[in-house]
Structure 1
Amino acid sequence: MPVLGQGVVRERADAARNRQRVLAAAQRLFDESGVDAVTMDDVAAAAGVGKGTLFRRFKDKGGLAAALLGQHETDLQRRILTGPPPLGPGALAAERLIAFVEAYLAYVVAQVDLVLMSQNSTPGARHQTGAHAFWRRHCWHLLAGARVPDPDLRADVLLAALTAEQVRHWIRDEGRDPAVLAATLSAVATAVGARDPRHTD
């Protein structure tokens, strides 16, 4: 998914139609059978496209998951950039960081299996997407604005706690309530964004 503000490559009309057919078929199959149970062959057959076409366009199920998540990610990015505070501009950095954690957690919880597939399809996949670069840059910007030391590392720590694998473990294996989890992770964000009193400029 392109980060907002980057150019978007225009597709031929037939390629765009095929892409929409594939994504619609994949979403239907994932909803009916679960992400893990669906193969790329299943998607190609349901969409009526050749397997070669499917693999060239999406590479693997992780690519399919990322494409399906694109609209959700773009919506969240837009709210961060131009929406009302505290998620959007106009609030203190600490308030925006908490709002981001709550909004991002809600996004992950709503489609946790798809997010997990997109993040774990290949080693390091989570770090290689434009979406992750956007989330990391946003957290870095807020942490740097709060003038905490090492905002890069703190952004990574915060996003590591919000990975789909970790969130799914909390809500499915441990049965944690998402609302309580959001409150706890907001407190974590507050701690991550706090300046060390031993640190001086």
Structure 2
Amino acid sequence: MPAAPERADAARNRHRILTAAARMVAAGGVERLALDDVAKAADVGVGTVYRRFGDRAGLVFALLEEQDERFRARVTAGPPPLGPHARPAERLRAFLHALVDLSVDQRQLLLLAESSSPAARYRNASYTFQHAHTSALVAELRPDADAAYLADALLAPFAPGLVDHQVRAGGFSPERIKDGLDQLLLGLLPHRDG
């Protein structure tokens, strides 16, 4: 039986809560993202926030999911080279480059989410999509390879702790990270250009 549609007032509250939380994060408040403060900023009761998201990790994952939905739409229906009408090698490179931008932009939220549930990264819809997409492109480019393993290997550099370390401690720019991924791809696909 399909789930009942969300009530209009519940949808409005969800939108207000996520909008308030996103504003707080944008203002640099990831570390201080407290549900009481989010409720106050959204002008809803704190119980509403707890019922809707459970805890701070639930709220963080909801924020990430909203951003990830937009990213998935760009990958599945956007223009080339990220979208579906590009050659596999170009598409894989564009996908990894777009993940760099997304990971750098979201790194504080991703760190917070990972610290609350370290293995959750691999169980959520975002990683499932990223892995399936990467695996399919690798399989198309290298039918002889273990595409599932190589997808994990290509996505491993996007671990939030590593991205944060590279940016903060290493001073890596997104362009430097992309260049490094390009070198990995050259090693993976030395004789095929898709």
The answer, yes or no, to whether TM exceeds 0.5 is yes
- CA gap of 1:194–1:141, structure 2 versus 1, over 3 A, is farther
How big is each residue's C-alpha offset from its partner over 1:138-187, in whole Å with a ceiling of 9 and x where there is no partner? 00100111114211111111111112221111011111121122111122
1:61 CA drift (Å): 2.3
1:194 to partner: Cα distance: 5.2
The residue correspondences of 1:46-125 to structure 2 (distance < 5 A) are 46-125=41-120
Structure of higher RCO (CA pairs closer than 8 Å, 6+ residues apart):
1
Please say if 1:24 is aligned against 2:14: no
Task: Please tell me the root mean square deviation across aligned C-alpha atoms, in Å.
Answer: 2.2
**Cα distance, 1:8 vs structure 2:** 8.8
What TM-score do you get using the length of structure 1 for normalisation? 0.83
Which residue of the partner structure matches residue 179 of structure 2?
183
Could you list the runs of 5+ residues in structure 1 that have no partner in the other structure?
Answer: 1-6, 196-201
- How many corresponding residue pairs? 189
Q: 8 Å contact 1:25–1:43 — kept in the other structure?
A: yes
User: Against the structure 1 CA distance between its residues 140 and 110, is the aligned structure 2 distance closer, same or farther, given a 3 Å change threshold?
Assistant: same
CA distance in structure 1 between the partners assigned to 2:111 and 2:185 by the alignment: 22
Look up the SS of the partner of 2:27 in the other structure. Answer: helix
Partners of 2:33 and 2:74 in 1: CA distance:
32
Secondary structure, counterpart of 2:31 in structure 1: coil
**Cα 1:44–1:164, aligned 2, differ >3 Å: closer, same or farther?**
same
1:34 is aligned to 2:29: yes
The Cα offsets for residues 52-74 of structure 1, whole Å up to 9 and x where unpaired, read as 32222212223222222334322
Equivalent-residue separation in structure 1 for 2:96 and 2:77 (angstroms): 17
Instruction: Find the counterpart in structure 1 of residue 170 from structure 2.
Output: 174
